[in-house]
Chain A
Amino acid sequence: MSPVGAIVRKEIRSYFVSPIAYVVAAVFLLLIGLLSFLAAVTASNRSLQMLRGQGNLPDLNLNDIVFRPVFYNMAVVLLLVVPILTMRLFAEEKKLKTMELLMTSPVTVTDIVVGKFFAAFAVFAGMLVLTAVGPLALAPFAPFRWEPILTAYLGVLLMGGLFLSAGLLASGLTENQIIAVILSFGGLLLFWLFGWAGQVFADSAFGKVLTYLSPLEHFEHLVKGLVTTSDLVYFMAGIVFTLFLAHRVIESQRWR
Chain B
Amino acid sequence: MIQVEHLTKHYGPKVAIDDVSFSVEKGEVLAFLGPNGAGKTTTMRILTASLPATSGTARVAGYDCFDHPREVKRAIGYLPEVPPLYTEMTVTEYLTFVGRIKGMDAERLSGALDRTLEQLSLGEVRERLIANLSHGFKQRVGLAQALIHDPPVLILDEPTVGLDPKQIIEIRQLIKALAGSRTIILSTHILPEATAVAQRVVIIHEGRIVAEDSQDQLSARLRRSEKVRVTLKHPPPDARERLQALPGVLSVHSEGPITFLVEAELGQDLRDDLARFAVRNDWGLLELKLVTMTLEDVFLRLTKEEDTPTHPSPLEGEGKGEGDAPEAQPS
Contact = CB atoms under 8 A, between A and B. Distances in A.
Interface stretch (B70-78, B299-307, B323-331): B70-78
Interface string B2-29: 0000000001000000000000000000
Contact of A6 (B78, B86, B100): B100
B43 to A, nearest CB: 14
A1 B97 CA distance: 10
B285 interface: no
Contacts of B100: 1, 3, 5-6
A253 to B, nearest CB: 10
Nearest to A14: B88
Contact of A104 (B50, B88, B103): B50
Contacts of B76: 104
A10 B93 CA distance: 9
Interface in A62-119: 96-108
Given A14-B86, A98-B85, A104 B48 contact: yes
B145 interface: yes
B34 interface: no
Nearest to A3: B101
A97 B88 CA distance: 14
Contacts of B52: 254-255
A7 B101 contact: yes
- Contact size class for B? 20 to 34
Nearest to B100: A6
Contacts of A98: 84-86
Contacts of B103: 3, 106
Contacts of A106: 69-71, 73-74, 101-103
B56 interface: no
A49 B256 CA distance: 108
A232 to B, nearest CB: 33
Contacts of A107: 101
B49 A105 contact: no
Contacts, number: 69
A123 to B, nearest CB: 16
A5 B101 CA distance: 9
Contacts of A104: 48-50, 73, 76, 78, 80
B82 A97 contact: yes
A137 interface: no
Size class of the contact patch on chain A: 20 to 34
A52 interface: no
B196 interface: no
A112 to B, nearest CB: 9
A56 interface: no
Contacts of B245: none
A10 B106 contact: no
A6 B71 CA distance: 19
Nearest to A10: B97
Nearest to B84: A101
B291 interface: no
A18 interface: yes
B51 A255 contact: yes
A256 interface: yes
A101 B78 CA distance: 8
Nearest to B54: A255
Contacts of A18: 88
A6 B97 contact: yes
A105 B86 CA distance: 15
B83 to A, nearest CB: 8
Looking at A1, A99, A101, A103, which has the most chain B CB atoms within 10 Å of its CB?
Answer: A101
Nearest to B76: A104
A64 B13 CA distance: 62
Given A106-B70, A106-B73, A254-B51, A100 B80 contact: yes
B50 A1 contact: no
A129 interface: no
B98 interface: yes
A50 to B, nearest CB: 55
Interface string B98-124: 101111001000000000000000000
B50 A6 contact: no
A9 to B, nearest CB: 8
A17 interface: yes
Interface in B303-320: none
A200 B149 CA distance: 60
Contacts of B102: 105-106
Contacts of A99: 84
B86 A102 contact: no
Interface in A173-219: none
8 contacts: A1-B106, A96-B84, A98-B86, A105-B101, A106-B101, A107-B101, A108-B70, A255-B51
Interface of B: 11, 48-52, 69-71, 73-74, 76, 78, 80, 82, 84-89, 93, 97-98, 100-103, 106, 145
Q: Which 4 A-B residue pairs are closest in the complex by CB-CB distance?
A: A6-B100, A101-B84, A106-B73, A103-B50
